[in-house]
Amino acid sequence: MDIQDPHFWRAGAVSTTAVMLVVLTFLTIDSLAVTRAGSKRVPDYDVINRQIGYVYDWSRGFDVPVIGADEPLFDRLYTPAQASALVSRGKLVIQSRACMDCHTFFGNGAYYAPDLTKSWLDPAWSQIWMPMTGSTTRAEAMVEFLMHPDRYPTWSRRMPDLQLTRTEAEAAVAYLKWMCAVDTNGFPAHFGRSAIAE
Amino acid sequence: MYRSQKLALRYFAAAITLFGVMTAAGLLSALYYLEPTLLYNVFDFQMAKILHINTLVIWLLMGFIGAVYWFLPKELGREVEGIALAEVLFWVFCAAVAVVAAVFVFVQYGGSNQFSMWFINQGRKYVEAPRWAALGIVVVVLTFVYNVTMTAWRARRMTGILWVLILDLIPLTVLYLDAFPQITNMSQDLYWWWWLVHMWVEATWEVLIGCLMAWSLMELMGTSRRIVEAWLYIEVMLVLGTGILGLGHHYFWIGTPSYWLGIGGFFSALEPLPLLGMVVHAVYDAGTHRMQTSNRPAFYWVLAEAFGNFIGAGIWGFMMTLPQINLYSHGTQWTVSHGHFAFWGAYGCGVIAIVYLVLQQTRGATAFDSRAWKWSFALLNLGILGMVGGLLVSGITQAFYGVAQGGATLQAFVVASENHWFQSGMYARFAFGVLFALGYLALAYDLLSIGRRARVAAPAQVSAA
Amino acid sequence: MHADLFATALLLGLFVAAGGAYGILFAAAMLRGSAALRRGASACYALQLLLAFTVCAASPLALPWKLFLAASAAAYGCIPPMIWRLLEAMHGHGGAGKHTRPS
């Protein structure tokens, strides 16, 4: 073993890289399989027809999404195909308006505006925006806000008006509802509750 | 001078110009935190941020490409193959960047349709550029790969550095294909997105800058090829050995299985170790040359690269990489602090060092020194230190009050953002950002002027004291 | 409990910083043959060990991570001397300080 010989280190570089890439390949195949829509970790898009909660799981040590009874979105239950189309449209809305450049999704994006992973469950919708917009449901409040954010100021930092149509706003809301049902290993931690007393 | 070296100079000019645009967009982005009503509904935060992070990627890429065009003909003793096409594509690249920027400024976003994806804004961080521009980047990069590989082929010669570079360019190019898809499933979208972002900045770019530093050290310090190549292989082994599975530190919370918490945390926590090796190496090189060199700015920027990489990526990264901590730091300004420091240390300093190295040779200056480079070095590095310090204070405040205490709701976000520590951090970030911008102006002035008044002579070899 | 996590994060940053300081001072000590720098390097490594011990003893991190941190501390101790010996061997001289450059 001649440590002065570059070929020795070249062999080390090649073999290390190869081993890591092989391991990554196997992990990727598994990760993609368990994160396809309809898997245990990532629900199918028609979860938007159901109630979604976020409850502490003692066996895992963190909060996990809980899918409950039927809860129509915009007063209707979507077929799987309709739900898929709506949620797909929602993702296109989020990309076309570059939401990720102010907000975070699963904590990824920009940090000027709040994380949207559990936005569907945020108490602010029922506490602040339902009364402010005169809506009777959280979903309606979210749609009204997204269509006219300049009418409903949050605080000193305000969301700009991104010219969302009603269809687009509904699609974005559906996307946020689907997203909050994904099992994210407990992120965000104890949503809506303080950890300091724990 | 070879044609590709003249092309390299054009790439450097474009890179440094975009560095200025990036700085201006960054200052504007920072200002929104202090003046939230600024340009409301006219030009909002997300567009300033898009300009900031896209020019970041492009200026560094242009710096890398320029550096390869500079070193390649010297490495192989011949003009670069396909250089005419590369020269044309440079202007096409610049024009495309200008058009994309203009659309970001004046159009900003479109409807939720494929037209927006193709021509306006794709809305995925770092790769917001519309698909037509992403295609353009693919063409430029493929041409670049062609230039490098065909030149080596025609020269019937390969060196260790070239082997590493060419093998690195393959995944670097292929990974960019993630700039195109539009995937509904956010978990899988982010899975592949991180292949592009992480495997660029924490893998293929690390190897690429390693190749460039190898060439640079041979010229700056006269280090032998055998030594730089051995060191390059060691670096590849350690950086990819930790960085490939260190990718997992982006897979803690996106819906992927929990085994990533262990795998990602473990390999990510190992990532500072190769950087420690680079710091020891930098001290060795500096000390054995007793800090003497005919190109002081390049030498100091190379040292800044080694130290900045270790501190920004190593120390700052290690603070937040273990999953139990990351659960709170994730998605806060803490990440921003780390990101700014790591990009600067790992890549910004390196590209600047190479530009100074090249300028000494093009201006034929024996003693290559000035006052302005010292000012820019001090202001840029002081600026970045202050910025990341301010962001760290804001980030920890946000993680504590917003997430740990507040439970990560909208109200918690507001409370954390209104906290006086958070605000102080943001003011400090802006103030030091202004210092950084002044440092940029000094840098630009110095790059235009340094060595121009020196007597024309062949570049001196560095001599050991 | 969660305030401890934030303190742990800062301690971990200091841990790596101390390791870096150890590496720098070690290399400087070898270059100059300075006993004072050598002592400084040892002090930095001792600080790093102390930080690791503090985190292991008092932080809320899970046990596997504490074990990993302890192993890391050992690795940080080995890396600067190993890298130094490697550099000396590559550059073709066995002692500290002097450097000649074959082209």
- pLDDT tens for the 465 residues of chain B, in order: 999 999 999 999 999 999 999 999 999 999 999 999 999 999 999 999 999 999 999 999 999 999 999 999 999 999 999 999 999 999 999 999 999 999 999 999 999 999 999 999 999 999 999 999 999 999 999 999 999 999 999 999 999 999 999 999 999 999 999 999 999 999 999 999 999 999 998 899 999 999 999 999 998 888 889 989 999 999 999 999 999 999 999 999 999 999 999 999 999 999 999 999 989 998 888 888 777 778 999 999 999 999 999 999 999 999 999 999 999 999 999 999 999 999 999 999 999 999 999 999 999 887 788 999 999 999 999 999 999 999 999 999 999 999 999 999 999 999 999 999 999 999 999 999 999 999 999 999 999 999 886 544 444 444 433
pLDDT of residue B454: 52
Rounded alpha-carbon distances, angstroms, from residue B58 to B51, B129, B285: 10, 11, 31
Chain C residues touching B279 at Cβ < 8 A:
20, 23-24
**C102 in Cβ contact with C77 (< 8 Å):** no
**C65 pLDDT tier (thresholds 50, 70, 90):** very high
Number of domains in chain C: 1
Sign of the alpha-carbon torsion through B434, B437, B443, B444? negative
User: Residues 30..49 of A with a Cβ closer than 8 Å to B: which?
Assistant: 30-32, 34-37, 41-42, 45
- φ, ψ (nearest 5 deg) of residue B108: 75, -55
Q: Is B456 helix (H, G, I), strand (E, B) or coil?
A: strand
Does C97 fall in a domain?
no
Which residues have CB under 8 Å from A146's CB, separation 6+?
A162, A164, A169, A172, A173
Residue A114 contacts B where some CB pair is shorter than 8 Å: yes
* Cβ proximity of B246 and B275 under 8 Å: no
Q: Which domain holds residue C35?
A: 2-91
Write out B371-433 in H/E/C secondary structure: CHHHHHHHHHHHHHHHHHHHHHHHHHHHHHHHHHHCCCCHHHHHHHHHCHHHHHHHHHHHHHH
List the domain boundaries for chain B.
Answer: 1-157
Q: What's the fold here for domain A45-179?
A: Cytochrome Bc1 Complex; Chain D, domain 2 (1.10.760)
Nearest-CA distance from B310 to chain A in Å? 21
Cβ <8 Å between A195 and C86? no
Tell me the pLDDT band of A104, cut-offs 50, 70 and 90: very high
Return the pLDDT at A196.
63
Dihedral sign of CA atoms B165, B166, B169, B174 in order: negative
Which residues on chain C are in Cβ contact (under 8 Å) with B328? Answer: 2, 5-6
Residue B451 vs residue C65, higher pLDDT: C65
The residue that leads in pLDDT, A88 or B294, is A88
Domain map (residue ranges) of chain A = 1-34, 45-179
Chain C touched by A156 (CB under 8 Å): no
What residues are paired with A65 via a beta bridge?
Answer: A54
What pLDDT digit, counting tens, does each position of A10-38 carry?
999 999 999 999 999 999 999 999 999 99
Cα angle value C52/C7/B345 (rounded, 5°): 80
Task: Classify the C-alpha dihedral B333-B338-B340-B341 as positive or negative.
Answer: positive
In a domain, C65, yes or no: yes
- ∠ Cα C13 B343 B451 (to 5°): 120
Which of A27, A98, A104 is closest, CB to CB, to B123? A98
Residues of chain A above pLDDT 90, percent: 91
Closest CB to C20: pick one of B276, B288, B328.
Answer: B276
- Asked if the Cβ–Cβ distance from A9 to B50 is below 8 Å, we say no
Q: What is the pLDDT of residue C3?
A: 80
Location of structure tokens 């073993």: A1
pLDDT higher than 50, residue A198: no
Amino acid letter for position A27: L
CA distances from A104 to A44, B108, B124, B324 (A): 22, 19, 11, 19
Neighbours of chain A (3+ CB pairs under 8 A): B, C
B-chain residues near C9 (CB < 8 A): 319-320, 325, 329, 396
Angle at A160 between CA B418 and CA A131, to 5 degrees: 70
pLDDT at residue number B135: 96
Residue C44 lies in a domain: yes
d(CA B198, CA B215): 25
**Nearest by CB: A12 against B125, B237, B327:** B237
Per-residue pLDDT, B223 = 87
Nearest-angstrom CA–CA distance, C47 and B270: 20
